Structure 1
Amino acid sequence: MIQIPEHIVSIIIKHLRAIQTAAEEDTLLAWITESEEHEKAYQQVVRLWNDSGSILGQPAFDTARAWEKLDSSLDHGAPVGKTVKIRLMRLAVAACMVGILALAGWIFYQQQDKTILTIAAAGKGSQRLTLPDGSLVILREGASIRYPKAFNARERAVTVTGESYFDVQQETGHPFRIQTARATIEVLGTSFTINSNEHQDRLIVSSGKVLFTGKDQHAGQHVVTAQQDAVLDEKGINIVPVKDSNYLSWQTGILQFDNAPFAAVVMALADYYHLHIKADSLLTRQPELSTITARFEHQPLEQVLEEIKLLINVSYRKQNDTIIFYQSQ
């Protein structure tokens, strides 16, 4: 038998169990019709599956009893020529049984292995990965995700911490659910970011709709649509239009400011560079501090600080692990 790709084997098993999706059925059909070898391999798997039906239904297979039944049906008083044929028959049956039992064991392993969780964590920089259903996830540095090797027929369930971006494949009747410490997020096909930390869950939807449900009863359940920003904390869920155009800057590497207040720029820089950045008390009391219009693309922090210094006539200093802006003299 030729080597069958793992994802095709998975679809064949779903097909034989009648739980495949329409898309999976199309994928399988396309693979089978690619070549005569593929079709033969598929037919062999189907035959083994059908032959192993009674074995898979039993908790254990009694090999000794099976041979006893086989031997009783053979004529032990047969002449030498016939004895050779009987031995060959036993070898053939043995080979068949090995194949069937191997397939049964493999199927059992695959079914059990679906419960094994894959844990991915982004170390230095972001990590991009594809889930078993084809959905895209980008983990921001420090974020992590847990998901099964294969989703079950009821739902596609994952658990996340930290900040991550999702572009979910649409599968009607097969909801995609994200669990955080304080919420459940359910989608059918959309793109969004979720940031779950010890203080709050923040959901920003780029496209589609998301059902946002707090695990505490007072939080309630809300539908969040495209270009809405939802925050869940101890007060409940608050939804507002997206005001932060840089919420995906950690993914794109681009910071864009259009007449942005200085305070908003400082917050965006602190989030993007993972640093403590603030303005000193004298600077924050300036009532007419200039707004900033600028675009920074994959630039080192020092360059960005120097450009801001020139744009609005401020200075900055480093104090321990904090960068502090102050009024230039």
Structure 2
Amino acid sequence: MKTLSEDLMLLIEREISGQASPEELVTLNNWLSADKKNIKEYQVLQQLYRGHQTLLRNNIVNTDEAWQKVSNKIEILQNSNKKTIIYRWYYVLSAAAAIFIIVFFAWVFRINNQVVTIEAVAGNEQFLLPDSSSVSLKKGSAITYNRSFKKGRSVIVKGIAYFDVKHIVSNSFTVITNNTLIQDIGTSFLVNNTITKDEITVFSGEIKCINLSTKAVINNIIAGKKIINYSKGFVVTDFTDTNILSWKSGVLDFPDVSLTRVLEDISLHYGITVKCLPIDLSNNIYVKLHFENQPIQEVLNEIKLVTKLQLRKGNNEFIFFQSVKNESSQIKKQK
């Protein structure tokens, strides 16, 4: 573990106590995103800070009494010869080190469960944070936060998470990824975090985002907008994808869209690959479809029925294609 600068140690302490400013959070999260080892180091320091407060508050370790025992041993040495002093001084240092280790592991034992990580392993998960904000995690995603969440509402996200935030004027809600710091202003929003970029879609309220690489800030991202944060900057677009929360609701709705778009959404929703060959064929087919919590085979059969296409299973993928007898016919756009 590298020795941290005094400024960084103070910054971590301010963040833990909920006193860090947005600018300070940017600096801290820049450091966190620089190296995965920094996150583990931060979590240890976070635990030690809180553990120290817990120990003092609950008097788990009487540090005065522990130090007095060491001090008494030092006093005995004053009447010893030099050789004995060297030997006993080593003994005293060992005793002091042992006491330190006891105190350290008492800290770790007491605060071992302070950092909470929730992973959606078996399927999608929905739950409440300690401040009553709700979170929905897509399967394979995870969040991490401190158990004393109400003092400083910060969440680290990996993967895809939907937040419905309880707005508190005096206590902002912050979401952190490896690319972005997101701060809410009474909001519900979706975060899609990958290694190279983040996509944040705002459904209600307003957010602001900070690029952790460039420290650029973008404010007033309102409902109906989607912001994409690449490492070099932001791109803001209108939100048009009606199925972006299908993994959460179980509903896929296609009012009159190309088969290409349908297959893309289905692939993402079910975590499989579904495509049409040749690609130009699916671009020219438009369909009206609606699915609610249906198994993939039912969905594929309905698409097959509506489009009159054939379906085969390849290597870990499903492929729609046009039969030879229908190649001469054109499938026109359905109104």
TM-score scaled by length of structure 1: 0.63
How do 1:1-329 residues align onto structure 2 when only pairs under 5 Å count? 60=63, 113=111, 116-151=114-149, 153=151, 155-217=152-214, 220-280=217-277, 282=278, 284-286=279-281, 289-329=284-324
DSSP 3-state at the match of 1:316: strand
Separation (CA, whole Å) in 1 of partners of 2:128 and 2:156: 15
DSSP 3-state at the match of 1:251: helix
Over the aligned positions, Cα root-mean-square deviation in angstroms equals: 3.1
Separation (CA, whole Å) in 2 of partners of 1:55 and 1:300: 54
CA 180–54 in structure 1, closer or farther in 2 if over 3 Å, else same: closer
- Give the deviation of 1:127 after TM superposition: 1.1
Separation (CA, whole Å) in 1 of partners of 2:171 and 2:283: 53
- Indicate if the aligned counterparts of 1:55 and 1:61 stay in contact, CA closer than 8 A: no
DSSP 3-state at the match of 1:286: helix
- Indicate if the aligned counterparts of 2:272 and 2:316 stay in contact, CA closer than 8 A: yes
- Give the deviation of 1:113 after TM superposition: 4.2
- Indicate if the aligned counterparts of 1:220 and 1:237 stay in contact, CA closer than 8 A: no
Separation (CA, whole Å) in 1 of partners of 2:239 and 2:171: 28
Separation (CA, whole Å) in 1 of partners of 2:233 and 2:251: 31
TM-score scaled by length of structure 2: 0.62
How many percent of aligned residue pairs carry the same amino acid? Answer: 28
Q: Which runs of 5+ in 1 are unaligned?
A: 1-52, 63-107
CA 228–328 in structure 1, closer or farther in 2 if over 3 Å, else same: farther
CA 192–287 in structure 1, closer or farther in 2 if over 3 Å, else same: closer
CA 328–220 in structure 1, closer or farther in 2 if over 3 Å, else same: farther
- Give the deviation of 1:114 after TM superposition: 10
- Please say which structure displays the higher CA radius of gyration: 1
CA 314–218 in structure 1, closer or farther in 2 if over 3 Å, else same: farther
Q: Deviations over 1:53-91 (max 9, x none)?
A: 9997x96576xxxxxxxxxxxxxxxxxxxxxxxxxxxxx
Q: How many residues align?
A: 231
Q: Deviations over 1:249-287 (max 9, x none)?
A: 00000000011111111110011000122222x2x2238
- Indicate if the aligned counterparts of 2:144 and 2:156 stay in contact, CA closer than 8 A: yes
- Indicate if the aligned counterparts of 1:114 and 1:150 stay in contact, CA closer than 8 A: no
Separation (CA, whole Å) in 1 of partners of 2:140 and 2:57: 49
Q: Deviations over 1:97-149 (max 9, x none)?
A: xxxxxxxxxxx98xx84992101100121111211111111111000000011
Separation (CA, whole Å) in 1 of partners of 2:259 and 2:282: 11
Structure 1, 312-321 or 206-215: larger mean CA deviation: 312-321
CA 327–132 in structure 1, closer or farther in 2 if over 3 Å, else same: same
Q: Which runs of 5+ in 2 are unaligned?
A: 1-55, 66-105, 325-335
